[in-house]
Amino acid sequence: MEKVASFSAPCFPPCALLGRPRGASRALRPRVTGGAVVRRGSGGVWAEKSFCRGISSDERPKRPLTGYFRFLKENRSGFRQKNPEMSNAELIRKIAGAWKVLPASQKQVYEEARKTDWQRYEEQLATYKAQLTPAQAEALREERRRQLARRRLFKAKRELTVLGKPKRPRTGFNIFVSEHFKESEGVSPMAKLKQLFEGWRKLSNSQKQPYLQLAEDDKVRYENEMTLWETKMVELGREDLIRSKKQRSKKKSVETAKQAETAKASSHENKAKLKLEKSEE
Protein backbone atom coordinates (compact mmCIF):
# COMPACT_ATOMS: atom_id res chain seq x y z
CA MET A 1 0.00 0.00 0.00
CA GLU A 2 1.31 3.43 -0.91
CA LYS A 3 2.48 5.39 2.11
CA VAL A 4 0.52 8.56 2.73
CA ALA A 5 2.49 11.52 4.04
CA SER A 6 1.04 13.62 6.84
CA PHE A 7 1.68 16.97 8.48
CA SER A 8 -0.15 19.28 10.80
CA ALA A 9 -3.29 20.81 9.36
CA PRO A 10 -6.64 21.92 10.76
CA CYS A 11 -8.98 19.01 11.42
CA PHE A 12 -12.71 19.62 11.36
CA PRO A 13 -15.70 17.31 11.17
CA PRO A 14 -17.23 17.38 7.68
CA CYS A 15 -20.31 19.26 8.92
CA ALA A 16 -18.05 22.13 10.03
CA LEU A 17 -16.99 22.57 6.41
CA LEU A 18 -20.56 23.30 5.47
CA GLY A 19 -20.68 26.26 7.84
CA ARG A 20 -23.11 24.87 10.42
CA PRO A 21 -22.84 23.08 13.76
CA ARG A 22 -22.90 19.29 13.94
CA GLY A 23 -26.44 17.97 13.82
CA ALA A 24 -28.00 21.32 12.95
CA SER A 25 -30.37 21.86 10.06
CA ARG A 26 -29.91 24.67 7.57
CA ALA A 27 -33.61 25.39 7.70
CA LEU A 28 -33.58 26.11 11.43
CA ARG A 29 -33.46 29.73 12.48
CA PRO A 30 -32.75 31.34 15.87
CA ARG A 31 -35.69 32.39 17.98
CA VAL A 32 -35.92 34.98 20.73
CA THR A 33 -37.32 33.85 24.06
CA GLY A 34 -37.02 35.13 27.59
CA GLY A 35 -34.51 37.82 26.74
CA ALA A 36 -32.15 35.42 24.94
CA VAL A 37 -31.49 34.31 21.40
CA VAL A 38 -31.82 30.52 21.35
CA ARG A 39 -30.71 28.30 18.48
CA ARG A 40 -31.95 24.72 18.34
CA GLY A 41 -30.72 21.72 16.38
CA SER A 42 -31.91 18.15 16.13
CA GLY A 43 -30.20 17.43 19.45
CA GLY A 44 -31.84 20.31 21.31
CA VAL A 45 -30.30 23.67 22.15
CA TRP A 46 -26.84 23.83 20.59
CA ALA A 47 -26.10 27.52 21.05
CA GLU A 48 -27.50 30.28 23.15
CA LYS A 49 -26.31 33.84 23.33
CA SER A 50 -27.48 36.32 25.92
CA PHE A 51 -29.36 39.19 24.39
CA CYS A 52 -30.63 41.81 26.79
CA ARG A 53 -32.23 44.82 25.19
CA GLY A 54 -30.42 47.97 26.33
CA ILE A 55 -27.90 46.18 28.56
CA SER A 56 -25.13 43.58 28.28
CA SER A 57 -22.54 41.90 30.44
CA ASP A 58 -19.94 44.30 28.98
CA GLU A 59 -21.57 47.06 31.04
CA ARG A 60 -21.11 45.13 34.28
CA PRO A 61 -18.49 46.76 36.54
CA LYS A 62 -15.12 45.06 36.31
CA ARG A 63 -13.66 43.38 39.37
CA PRO A 64 -10.63 45.30 40.68
CA LEU A 65 -7.16 43.89 40.11
CA THR A 66 -5.40 42.01 42.89
CA GLY A 67 -2.23 43.41 44.44
CA TYR A 68 -0.03 41.17 42.28
CA PHE A 69 -1.73 42.11 39.01
CA ARG A 70 -1.42 45.81 39.91
CA PHE A 71 2.29 45.25 40.43
CA LEU A 72 2.49 43.37 37.12
CA LYS A 73 0.66 46.07 35.18
CA GLU A 74 2.76 48.83 36.72
CA ASN A 75 6.16 47.20 36.21
CA ARG A 76 5.80 45.13 33.03
CA SER A 77 7.06 47.81 30.65
CA GLY A 78 10.11 48.46 32.85
CA PHE A 79 10.97 44.77 33.01
CA ARG A 80 10.51 44.52 29.23
CA GLN A 81 12.94 47.37 28.58
CA LYS A 82 15.56 45.70 30.78
CA ASN A 83 14.96 42.24 29.28
CA PRO A 84 14.02 42.70 25.59
CA GLU A 85 15.25 39.21 24.65
CA MET A 86 12.84 37.42 27.01
CA SER A 87 9.65 35.74 25.84
CA ASN A 88 6.36 36.78 27.46
CA ALA A 89 6.30 33.63 29.60
CA GLU A 90 9.85 34.21 30.83
CA LEU A 91 9.08 37.86 31.55
CA ILE A 92 5.98 36.96 33.60
CA ARG A 93 8.01 34.45 35.63
CA LYS A 94 10.63 37.10 36.32
CA ILE A 95 7.99 39.62 37.47
CA ALA A 96 6.35 36.95 39.65
CA GLY A 97 9.72 36.27 41.26
CA ALA A 98 10.16 39.99 41.94
CA TRP A 99 6.71 40.15 43.55
CA LYS A 100 7.53 37.14 45.70
CA VAL A 101 10.58 38.83 47.27
CA LEU A 102 8.95 42.27 47.51
CA PRO A 103 8.93 43.53 51.13
CA ALA A 104 5.57 43.29 52.91
CA SER A 105 5.48 47.07 53.39
CA GLN A 106 5.63 47.64 49.62
CA LYS A 107 3.07 44.91 48.91
CA GLN A 108 0.72 46.63 51.35
CA VAL A 109 0.56 49.68 49.07
CA TYR A 110 -0.91 47.57 46.27
CA GLU A 111 -3.28 45.75 48.63
CA GLU A 112 -4.64 49.01 50.03
CA ALA A 113 -5.31 50.27 46.50
CA ARG A 114 -7.23 47.04 45.80
CA LYS A 115 -9.38 47.50 48.94
CA THR A 116 -10.27 51.06 47.94
CA ASP A 117 -11.24 49.95 44.42
CA TRP A 118 -13.20 47.01 45.83
CA GLN A 119 -15.48 49.29 47.85
CA ARG A 120 -16.15 51.39 44.75
CA TYR A 121 -16.76 48.20 42.75
CA GLU A 122 -19.41 46.93 45.19
CA GLU A 123 -21.26 50.26 44.99
CA GLN A 124 -21.18 50.25 41.18
CA LEU A 125 -22.29 46.60 41.09
CA ALA A 126 -25.28 47.30 43.32
CA THR A 127 -26.32 50.16 41.02
CA TYR A 128 -25.88 47.96 37.95
CA LYS A 129 -27.97 45.11 39.37
CA ALA A 130 -30.74 47.46 40.47
CA GLN A 131 -31.49 48.50 36.86
CA LEU A 132 -31.86 44.92 35.57
CA THR A 133 -35.24 43.37 34.86
CA PRO A 134 -35.75 39.77 36.11
CA ALA A 135 -35.34 38.47 32.54
CA GLN A 136 -32.13 40.42 32.05
CA ALA A 137 -30.73 39.26 35.39
CA GLU A 138 -31.47 35.63 34.54
CA ALA A 139 -29.95 35.97 31.04
CA LEU A 140 -26.76 37.45 32.49
CA ARG A 141 -26.56 34.71 35.14
CA GLU A 142 -26.87 32.12 32.39
CA GLU A 143 -24.13 33.85 30.40
CA ARG A 144 -21.92 33.80 33.48
CA ARG A 145 -22.57 30.07 33.99
CA ARG A 146 -21.54 29.38 30.40
CA GLN A 147 -18.38 31.43 30.80
CA LEU A 148 -17.41 29.48 33.91
CA ALA A 149 -18.18 26.18 32.16
CA ARG A 150 -15.93 27.15 29.22
CA ARG A 151 -13.19 28.17 31.66
CA ARG A 152 -13.41 24.85 33.51
CA LEU A 153 -13.30 22.96 30.21
CA PHE A 154 -10.23 24.91 29.10
CA LYS A 155 -8.45 24.18 32.39
CA ALA A 156 -9.33 20.49 32.16
CA LYS A 157 -7.99 20.26 28.59
CA ARG A 158 -4.80 22.08 29.58
CA GLU A 159 -4.28 19.70 32.50
CA LEU A 160 -4.67 16.67 30.21
CA THR A 161 -2.11 18.19 27.82
CA VAL A 162 0.35 18.69 30.67
CA LEU A 163 -0.21 15.09 31.80
CA GLY A 164 0.57 13.90 28.28
CA LYS A 165 -2.77 12.36 27.35
CA PRO A 166 -2.49 10.73 23.88
CA LYS A 167 -4.08 12.52 20.95
CA ARG A 168 -7.32 11.03 19.71
CA PRO A 169 -7.13 8.97 16.51
CA ARG A 170 -7.64 10.75 13.22
CA THR A 171 -10.29 9.82 10.70
CA GLY A 172 -9.56 8.93 7.10
CA PHE A 173 -10.83 12.36 6.08
CA ASN A 174 -8.48 14.10 8.57
CA ILE A 175 -5.51 12.23 7.11
CA PHE A 176 -6.64 13.15 3.58
CA VAL A 177 -6.77 16.82 4.62
CA SER A 178 -3.29 16.62 6.17
CA GLU A 179 -1.83 15.28 2.93
CA HIS A 180 -3.46 17.79 0.56
CA PHE A 181 -4.01 20.93 2.66
CA LYS A 182 -0.96 22.92 1.51
CA GLU A 183 -1.48 22.21 -2.18
CA SER A 184 -5.24 22.86 -2.18
CA GLU A 185 -6.64 26.03 -3.72
CA GLY A 186 -8.41 28.65 -1.63
CA VAL A 187 -7.72 32.01 -0.06
CA SER A 188 -8.76 31.13 3.48
CA PRO A 189 -8.28 27.88 5.46
CA MET A 190 -12.05 27.34 5.46
CA ALA A 191 -12.18 27.69 1.66
CA LYS A 192 -9.43 25.08 1.37
CA LEU A 193 -11.26 22.75 3.72
CA LYS A 194 -14.48 23.05 1.74
CA GLN A 195 -12.61 22.23 -1.45
CA LEU A 196 -10.96 19.21 0.21
CA PHE A 197 -14.31 18.05 1.56
CA GLU A 198 -15.75 18.04 -1.95
CA GLY A 199 -12.66 16.22 -3.21
CA TRP A 200 -13.05 13.58 -0.49
CA ARG A 201 -16.70 13.01 -1.41
CA LYS A 202 -15.74 12.38 -5.03
CA LEU A 203 -13.15 9.71 -4.19
CA SER A 204 -14.11 6.11 -4.88
CA ASN A 205 -14.06 3.53 -2.09
CA SER A 206 -10.78 2.10 -3.41
CA GLN A 207 -9.20 5.57 -3.41
CA LYS A 208 -10.34 6.17 0.16
CA GLN A 209 -9.08 2.81 1.37
CA PRO A 210 -5.42 3.86 2.07
CA TYR A 211 -6.62 6.72 4.28
CA LEU A 212 -9.18 4.54 6.04
CA GLN A 213 -6.49 1.91 6.69
CA LEU A 214 -4.20 4.55 8.18
CA ALA A 215 -7.10 5.69 10.35
CA GLU A 216 -7.57 2.11 11.62
CA ASP A 217 -3.84 1.93 12.39
CA ASP A 218 -4.12 5.20 14.27
CA LYS A 219 -6.93 3.74 16.39
CA VAL A 220 -4.61 0.89 17.41
CA ARG A 221 -1.91 3.44 18.25
CA TYR A 222 -4.37 5.43 20.35
CA GLU A 223 -5.62 2.41 22.30
CA ASN A 224 -2.08 1.24 23.05
CA GLU A 225 -0.96 4.69 24.18
CA MET A 226 -4.13 5.17 26.25
CA THR A 227 -3.56 1.86 28.05
CA LEU A 228 -0.04 2.95 29.05
CA TRP A 229 -1.22 6.45 29.97
CA GLU A 230 -4.08 5.18 32.14
CA THR A 231 -1.69 2.85 33.95
CA LYS A 232 0.50 5.85 34.70
CA MET A 233 -2.49 7.88 35.92
CA VAL A 234 -3.46 5.07 38.33
CA GLU A 235 0.08 5.15 39.72
CA LEU A 236 -0.26 8.92 40.21
CA GLY A 237 -3.59 8.51 41.99
CA ARG A 238 -5.60 10.09 39.18
CA GLU A 239 -8.24 7.40 38.68
CA ASP A 240 -10.70 10.20 37.88
CA LEU A 241 -9.05 10.52 34.46
CA ILE A 242 -9.47 6.85 33.56
CA ARG A 243 -12.14 5.86 31.06
CA SER A 244 -15.02 3.94 32.57
CA LYS A 245 -15.15 0.16 32.13
CA LYS A 246 -18.34 0.65 30.14
CA GLN A 247 -16.53 2.79 27.56
CA ARG A 248 -13.67 0.31 27.24
CA SER A 249 -15.95 -2.73 27.04
CA LYS A 250 -18.00 -0.99 24.34
CA LYS A 251 -14.88 -0.46 22.22
CA LYS A 252 -13.81 -4.05 22.76
CA SER A 253 -17.25 -5.34 21.76
CA VAL A 254 -17.06 -3.34 18.51
CA GLU A 255 -13.60 -4.78 17.79
CA THR A 256 -14.83 -8.29 18.64
CA ALA A 257 -17.79 -7.85 16.28
CA LYS A 258 -15.45 -6.77 13.48
CA GLN A 259 -13.20 -9.78 14.10
CA ALA A 260 -16.22 -12.12 14.12
CA GLU A 261 -17.48 -10.61 10.88
CA THR A 262 -14.06 -11.11 9.27
CA ALA A 263 -13.88 -14.69 10.52
CA LYS A 264 -17.39 -15.37 9.22
CA ALA A 265 -16.52 -14.03 5.79
CA SER A 266 -13.37 -16.14 5.75
CA SER A 267 -15.39 -19.23 6.72
CA HIS A 268 -17.86 -18.65 3.89
CA GLU A 269 -14.97 -18.23 1.48
CA ASN A 270 -13.37 -21.53 2.60
CA LYS A 271 -16.69 -23.38 2.23
CA ALA A 272 -17.11 -22.01 -1.26
CA LYS A 273 -13.61 -23.19 -2.18
CA LEU A 274 -14.33 -26.68 -0.86
CA LYS A 275 -17.55 -26.90 -2.87
CA LEU A 276 -15.71 -25.78 -5.96
CA GLU A 277 -12.97 -28.38 -5.46
CA LYS A 278 -15.55 -31.19 -4.97
CA SER A 279 -17.46 -30.20 -8.09
CA GLU A 280 -14.23 -30.24 -10.11
CA GLU A 281 -13.51 -33.77 -8.84
- Average pLDDT, integer, range 39-67: 59
* Position 189 confidence tier, pLDDT thresholds 50, 70, 90: confident
Query: Could you tell me which residue, 110 or 17, shows the higher pLDDT?
Result: 110
Averaged confidence pLDDT in the chain: 78
How large a percentage of the chain has pLDDT more than 70?
66
- Average pLDDT, integer, range 268-274: 56
Reply yes or no on whether the pLDDT at 258 is more than 70: no
In this predicted model, what pLDDT tens digit does every residue of 111-132 receive, in sequence order?
A: 999 999 999 999 999 999 899 9
Reply yes or no on whether the pLDDT at 246 is more than 70: no
- Average pLDDT, integer, range 179-192: 84
Instruction: Give me the pLDDT at residue 24, please.
Output: 42
Instruction: Give me the pLDDT at residue 244, please.
Output: 81
pTM given for the model: 0.51
Query: Could you tell me which residue, 88 or 32, shows the higher pLDDT?
Result: 88
Reply yes or no on whether the pLDDT at 45 is more than 50: no
- Average pLDDT, integer, range 146-170: 94
Q: What is the 3-state secondary structure (H, E, C) of the chain?
A: CCCCCCCCCCCCCHHHHCCCCCCCCCCCCCEEECCEEEEEECCEEEEEEECCCCCCHHHCCCCCCCHHHHHHHHHHHHHHHHCCCCCHHHHHHHHHHHHHCCCHHHHHHHHHHHHHHHHHHHHHHHHHHHCCCHHHHHHHHHHHHHHHHHHHHHHHHHHHHHCCCCCCCCCHHHHHHHHHCCCCCCCCHHHHHHHHHHHHHHCCHHHHHHHHHHHHHHHHHHHHHHHHHHHHHHHCCCHHHCCCHHHHHHHHHHHHHHHHHHHHHHHHHHHHHHHHHHHHC
